Each structure stands twice: as structure tokens, then as C-alpha cells.
Structure 1
Amino acid sequence: MITDPLFYLCAIPAVLFYGIAKGGFGGNIAILSVPLMALVVSPQKAAAILLPILIVMDITALRTFRGRWDKPNLRIIIPAALIGVLIGGLTFRLLDDAHIQLMIGAIALVFVLNIWLRGEEPPVRGAGIVRGGFWGIISGFTSFGIHAGGPPINVYLLPQKMDKTLLMGTIAVFFAVVNLAKLPAYIYLDQFNTSNLLTSLALLPLAPIGVWLGFWMLQRSNEKLIYQLCYVFLFLTGCKLLYDGFNGLYPG
């Protein structure tokens, strides 16, 4: 088990950020979690420590949203995401995290800047098999290694302008399935060891606290604010991922 106090100084807010996002408030703020923990441990170790905690958060989120999710969308994006997870598992040792970060950062920035520069909200779009399948695969793939599946799936879901609770409930179900699907591959790839699992166990009590806090904040915010926050955090996420990607490819 990790005993370094500096690690927990970074890990505790990282876990709470993820929980708040899974509870529905702040959207892509969760993307800060792995980089924050990676200040003191490797990104791979941070992702391995987080995965069991995320699964507990997913269970809490499913109970919190209680059936408030969009089934037509889930029937499209979940099978696609499972394909993405499979691709991520097969290519895990071949791809550099930096390239994935650059790809997702560019997608997030282009999407948000297109909306902001036009000065108007994008037209409402319904569920689509082609678009949902594409972004579902990308989300499953990017979620596998660095838990960065949020930006791609938000590119698909945000233009649909769902009710805020329905949107967050749909995202909760989506990532509950994706994270469970990652578990066997993480075991096969030896991502778990005694130290990682004991550290996950120590941080586990924070999981429901973060989710409940996020849901409490969601219920006290209006729908327009939630969408505005999603766009802002998606933009900041894109900037952070581009920075990390360039820094990974060209350190120093």
C-alpha cells in the first residue's frame, strides 16, 4: 500500500473530482483525476488504482439516478464502446498515451470552439446509429488506458439537449458498463497488484461521498448552467490533454 502523504494529498481530491462528475455535476472535471495522481505515481499506476474505485462509484451512481437514462442511446453507444475497449486492450502495449491525449484534446477543443465561435447553441440532434457508434468506439478506446472516455461521448450526447438528469444518468450507465468491461483486461495485463489494490481500498470510502455530493449539486443547478459547465470543462479538458500530449512527446 502506498504510504506517501504527498500521494494522498493528490489522490483524495482526484477521487472526489471523479465522484462529483459521476454524480452529475461538473462533467469532464473527472479528466483531472489521473493527471493529478500522476504527479506522484505513473499514469498507468494511477489508472489501475482508480478503476476499482470507479466501479464502486458507478454502482452508487446507478442507484442514485434510478432508471433515469436514455435507453435508445444506450443501445447504440454501449456495444460500440465495448468494441473500443477491446481495441484498447489489444493495443495497450503498442500505443503511447501522449498520442491518445493529443487526439482527444483536439476533438474536445474543435467541438467546443465550433459552438462558441458560431455564437449560438448547436441544433438539437437525436440519437444516431452512425454518430453514436463512432463516438462510442472512440470513448471506449480512450477510456481504457487513461480513463478519458468523457470528451468523446459528450461530443455525441451534449447536442441532444436532454434533461440534465437524463443526460447524467445515461452517462452513468454507459461508464458503468465500460469500466466493468475494462476489469478483465486490466487483470490480464497485470495492472493490479497488492499495493494498488490496498491503496484503492484505502480511498474507497470517498467514492460514494463524491457521487452523492455531485448529485446534490446537480439538483440545485439549472439545466442551462449544467450545459454551460459541460462546455467549459470540456474546453479545459481539451487544453489539459493537448498540454499533456505535447509534453509527453516533447518533454522539456
Structure 2
Amino acid sequence: MDITWWGFAALASAAALVGFSKTAVSGANTVSLAVFAAVLPARESTGVLLPLLIVGDVLAVFTYRRHAHWPTLWRLFPAVAAGVVLGTVFLAWAGDGAVRTSIGAILLLMAGVTMWRRRGAARAGAGTERPADGSAGKGRIPDSGGSGVLGPRVKAGSYGVLGGFTTMVANAGGPVMSLYLLSSGFRKLGFLGTSAWFFLIVNTSKLPFSVGLGLIDGPSLLLDAALVLFVVPGALIGKACVNRIDQRLFERLVIGATVLGGLQLLLR
């Protein structure tokens, strides 16, 4: 891969942001996705980014492994598997422009729906005191907005298919799952623990598909070997910062990162 020093510096910064997003603000790695796709060919960039995401997932699981909500994970996995298969088929046939437009539109739609739901939940729950930390209920509180007419299983299935599809096509499943966990009432530590296990399992399962599509090869792994050195300090910085971010700011940062990632995909 022909990469300039400025290009490598941009990739190194994006790799550090991968680590930070895994231990502090999930969804922020949509910025990393955009940087990788800008420096490298869009298709090849997904293969380079995937091993770095897995390293970040391992660090996140090590940090937040006790805070996962496993019933939520088991409810999501079947739909995510279907989404990964659909994403593999789509990636084999669609061009880069169609991929970017589809994912960007999905992210912005999900962000809008989540903000609308949370605004309604805030009005419905006005006057109800919420715990300040993530310890109660394994970091999860009731979904004040309800699941609407679709019900929790259909809701999990819808988000799961979208998450599996977007994570396979462009490693962009983080924002979709972030919106699902926020809309389901997860607090900070429960959010991070559940997200960490989810993406470690899902991203690892994507490896055979990515290798089969030719997205991961010798040159991409060689670049990963250099960039992984920047993922670890990013994760450590995220771990140091997460306790200084209150719940309301945390949720705004996650949604803001989702909107930013969606706009970058649409406008690039």
C-alpha cells in the first residue's frame, strides 16, 4: 500500500480513536471509519480496520467484562447473523457509492428515531430520579419509551439485522448498536460492557467472510501490525476519561458521533 507519512499519521490517529471509542464513547469510531476510507481505497480500508477493532474489543472486554447484560446479547445474535450474511452478499455486488449512501442514511435515520424516542421518554419520566451510576441492574434501567407497537423482540430483530449488515459492509455497526442500547435504557457501564462483548463476538465472526472477500491479506495485516501500537494508548485514555463523563453527556456524545459518522458517509 502506497501511504504517505501524512496518511500514516492520519491512520495512527484514527487507530487511537478506535481504542478510545471502545473504552469511552462507543460510536466515535465512525470517525475512524471515515479517515481509513479517505486514506485507503474504501473497500480495502474495511479489511485493515477490522483487526484493529478486534484488538480494541479485547481491551474493552478486559475492562468492562463484568457489566455485560447477556439476555440482551442472546436476543440480538440471531438477527445480527442474518444481517452479516446480507451484508456479505451486498458487499460482493454493490459499489462504494451505494454502500456509503445506504449506511449514512441508515445512521442518520436511527439517530433521529432515538432522539425522538428519548425526548418522549424524558417527558414521560419527568420527576423520576434516575441512578447516577451504572451499577443498578447491571447498568440497565427500564426503557421508559417502551418498545412501541413492534414489541421488544421485533425491535431487537430490526436493530440486529441493521447492525449486522452495517458492521459487515463498512465496520459501521457501532452506532446502530449504540442507539439500540441507549433506547433500551442502558446506563454507562452496562452499555460499555454489553457493547464490548457484542462486538468482540461479532467482529471475530466476520473474519472468515472478510478473508473470503479478499479484504484481509498480507499487506493489510502488515499495516495493522504498525497501527495496533496506537490502539492500546487510545483505550487507556478512554478508560481514564470514562468516569469523568456523566450519563447525559455520554448519551449526547454517542448520538453526536453517530450523526457525524452518517454525514461523513453521505457527503464523502
TM-score (norm 1): 0.87
Name which of 158, 169, 186 aligns with 1:145.
169
Pair 117,185 (structure 1): closer, same or farther in 2 beyond 3 Å: closer
In structure 2, how many angstroms separate the alpha carbons of the residues matched to 1:58 and 1:115? Answer: 24
Pair 128,53 (structure 1): closer, same or farther in 2 beyond 3 Å: same
Q: Does 2:190 align with 1:190?
A: no
Pair 125,67 (structure 1): closer, same or farther in 2 beyond 3 Å: farther
Structure 1 runs (4+) deviating above 4 angstroms are 114-119
Q: Does 2:96 align with 1:72?
A: no
Q: Does 2:194 align with 1:173?
A: no
Q: 1:250 — aligned with what?
A: none
Q: Is the 8 A contact 2:118 2:145 kept in 1?
A: no
Give the secondary structure class of the aligned counterpart of 2:91.
coil
Letter of the 2:237 counterpart: L
Q: Is the 8 A contact 2:11 2:39 kept in 1?
A: no
Q: Is the 8 A contact 1:135 1:156 kept in 2?
A: yes
Q: Does 2:157 align with 1:158?
A: no
Pair 232,175 (structure 1): closer, same or farther in 2 beyond 3 Å: same
Q: Does 2:52 align with 1:48?
A: no
Deviation at 1:3, TM superposition (A): 5.5
Deviation at 1:119, TM superposition (A): 9.0
Q: Does 2:22 align with 1:22?
A: yes
In structure 1, how many angstroms separate the alpha carbons of the residues matched to 2:204 and 2:102? Answer: 24
Q: What is the aligned-residue identity percentage?
A: 28
Deviation at 1:79, TM superposition (A): 2.3
Q: 2:242 — aligned with what?
A: 218
Give the secondary structure class of the aligned counterpart of 1:92.
helix
In structure 1, how many angstroms separate the alpha carbons of the residues matched to 2:39 and 2:114? Answer: 36
Q: Does 2:195 align with 1:205?
A: no
In structure 2, how many angstroms separate the alpha carbons of the residues matched to 1:111 and 1:144? Answer: 18
Q: Is the 8 A contact 2:36 2:42 kept in 1?
A: yes
Q: Is the 8 A contact 2:211 2:217 kept in 1?
A: no
Q: Is the 8 A contact 1:2 1:195 kept in 2?
A: no
Deviation at 1:160, TM superposition (A): 1.9
Q: 1:97 — aligned with what?
A: 96
Pair 48,116 (structure 1): closer, same or farther in 2 beyond 3 Å: closer
Q: Is the 8 A contact 2:23 2:60 kept in 1?
A: yes
Give the secondary structure class of the aligned counterpart of 1:93.
helix
Q: Is the 8 A contact 2:77 2:160 kept in 1?
A: yes
In structure 2, how many angstroms separate the alpha carbons of the residues matched to 1:212 and 1:121? Answer: 36
Deviation at 1:212, TM superposition (A): 2.1
Structure 1 gaps, min length 5: 245-252
Q: 1:249 — aligned with what?
A: none
Greater alpha carbon shift after TM alignment, 132-141 vs 114-123 = 114-123
